[in-house]
Amino acid sequence: MIKIKNLYKIYNQNKADELQALKNISININKNELIILKGISGSGKSTLLSVISSFTKPTSGVVICDNNNISKLPDRHASIFRNKSIGFVFQAFNLIDELTVYDNIKIPLSINNNTDIENKIKTAIKQANISHKSKQYIKNLSGGEKQRVAIARAIVNNPNIILCDEPTAALDKNNSLRFINILKQLKKTGKTIVVATHDSLFDELDFVDRYIDIEDGKIKP
Ligand SMILES: Nc1ncnc2c1ncn2[C@@H]1O[C@H](COP(=O)(O)OP(=O)(O)OP(=O)(O)O)[C@@H](O)[C@H]1O
Ligand SMILES: [Mg+2]
């Protein structure tokens, strides 16, 4: 599902503040695998997720995601690829406070000519366990509820790949455990999932397929 070969990401190349964020990364992630990406702050986790989702272009190397070679996708194609293939859950939720839960979840569906919008939202909102708040405004929700809306929005388009960047960083333990439980359910639907986190609640989960350690931009053997 995700094939990465000899990936380098260098920020500010050939400038005084040049920084090698990813160094010769090669990983294959199979369909329906759930991967936990671990590593200390600054090790390159967010950069790697950003490259996989085609927000960030690699400096060199090959990245193939969901049968798309995204290493050199022009921006317009990258956004089409993202909308179709990737669901992204951010630490800061990135929701629109002035819209309702329902309308936030609808956003990814407004980009293409979507059909059956009502049903898609219903399914996602249910999977993310937030149906009871569908008419509420985001600003009236708790942190845990906001994160569940963010999950619903990430899965509403039925993407094959779900990427989560520190998804529990703003949640208390109880809500983090609920998040982990939703991940477990999502894995059962066949999704390929990568979660970047340093939350120890993700350690030793029996439904995780692999833990990958990243240190100073390199995969630890
Ligand atoms: N846009 C950017 N321009 C320049 N350097 C960057 C940029 N984004 C990240 N970096 C640098 O790349 C390195 C990896 O950053 P990244 O955000 O991927 O780490 P991380 O593992 O996600 O850290 P954290 O756990 O704090 O989120 C860091 O040294 C960071 O300062
Ligand atoms: Mg990060």
87-145 pLDDT, tens digit each: 999 888 899 999 999 999 999 998 777 889 999 999 999 999 999 999 999 999 999 99
- Give the pLDDT confidence of 47-88 residue by residue, as tens digits: 999 999 999 999 999 999 999 999 888 989 999 999 999 999
Q: What's the mean pLDDT in 138-154?
A: 95
Ligand 1 centroid to 143 CA: how many Å? 24
69 CA from centroid of ligand 1 (Å):
24
Structural domains of the chain, ranges and CATH numbers in brackets: 2-219 (3.40.50.300)
The answer to whether the CB of 21 is under 6 A from ligand 1 is yes
Q: Measured from the CB, is residue 133 less than 6 Å from ligand 1?
A: no
Other CB atoms within 10 Å distance of the CB of residue 79: 14
Give the whole-angstrom CA distance, residue 13 versus residue 139: 40
The DSSP call for residue 220 is -
Please give the distance, rounded to the nearest whole angstrom, from the Cα atom of residue 90 to the centre of ligand 2: 10
SS (H, E, C) 15-49: CCCCEEEEEEEEEEECCCCEEEEECCCCCCHHHHH
- Residue 170: Cβ within 10 Å count: 16
Question: Is there an atom of ligand 1 within 6 Å of 177 CB?
Answer: no
The C-alpha atoms of residue 28 and residue 66 are separated, in whole angstroms, by 12
Q: Which two tokens stand for residue 42?
A: 């600054």
pTM: 0.95
In a 3-state reduction of DSSP, which class is residue 88? Answer: strand
What is the spatial distance between Cα 6 and Cα 25, in angstroms, rounded to a whole number? 5
Ligand 1 atom closest to the Cα of residue 217 is 14
Amino acid at 185: Q
Report the distance separating Cα 190 and Cα 198, nearest Å: 25
Q: Write out the two tokens for 56.
A: 């960030």
